[in-house]
Amino acid sequence: MLNKLKTLWQQLLGNKRQMDEMGFTGVIVAVLDGPDGRRVHKTHNIVTDAGDVFCAQKIAGEAPTNAFANLELGSTAAPTTSKASTTSSITKINNTEKAPSAGYPKANDNDPDNNEGGTNITTWKYAYGKADFNAPSITEGIIKVAAAATGQPVFCHFAFQTGFEKTANDTLVVFYNLESKGV
């Protein structure tokens, strides 16, 4: 009986399996506030292979192999992101490793500076004060394990289309928005 049902099902579907697909997309929103006014920089990211494993483990309720949480910014002149990116894939900017702000990550972020939050979006927020760091060119970033060594896996890697400067007179807030999309 079971084989007959299976055969009938395959005939109806033309021997094709019915599958749901799930994907993740990320949008980074960087809000720079200073004497020159407010500037917003947006970009998309690559969730790495290690990031895919992290998501699967979290969905399954398992302890993740890598406890990805911290943001680190970089200054590579022409950053290249890939599914295989690691902590060695960026030119790190000193003093930019930052843990998420209190209350983050969370779903349905309602921070008015983050217009990319939503009900099916998990948001991480990273806030840098004026004295945290200065950099002439911020071009990229990664989310990684705290104090990760060189060559370690990262959750994601992103590159801004145009680099931007953060001076001692600027604050910077970076939102990482991870959207789960069923296809």
Q: In this model, does residue 51 exceed pLDDT 50?
A: yes
Give residues with Cβ within 8 angstroms of 162, minimum separation 6.
41
- How many whole angstroms separate alpha carbon 51 and alpha carbon 72? 16
Residue 113's pLDDT band, with cuts at 50, 70 and 90, is very high
pTM as predicted: 0.86
Q: Is residue 41 a contact partner of residue 114, using CB atoms and an 8 Å limit?
A: no
| 169 part of a folded domain | yes
pLDDT of residue 25: 76
The whole-number average pLDDT for the span 41-60 is 93
| 4 part of a folded domain | no
What is the number of domains present in the chain? Answer: 1
Q: Mind listing the pLDDT tens digit for each residue in 116-163?
A: 998 889 999 999 999 999 999 999 999 999 999 999 999 999 999 999
- How many whole angstroms separate alpha carbon 90 and alpha carbon 140? 7
| 103 part of a folded domain | yes
pLDDT of residue 22: 57
| 11 part of a folded domain | no
Q: Mind listing the pLDDT tens digit for each residue in 139-148?
A: 999 999 999 9
| 19 part of a folded domain | no
Domain that holds residue 53: 25-182
| 146 part of a folded domain | yes
- How many whole angstroms separate alpha carbon 178 and alpha carbon 108? 11
| 1 part of a folded domain | no
Q: Mind listing the pLDDT tens digit for each residue in 89-101?
A: 999 999 999 999 9
| 79 part of a folded domain | yes
- How many whole angstroms separate alpha carbon 37 and alpha carbon 34? 5
- Length of the chain in residues, anyone? 183
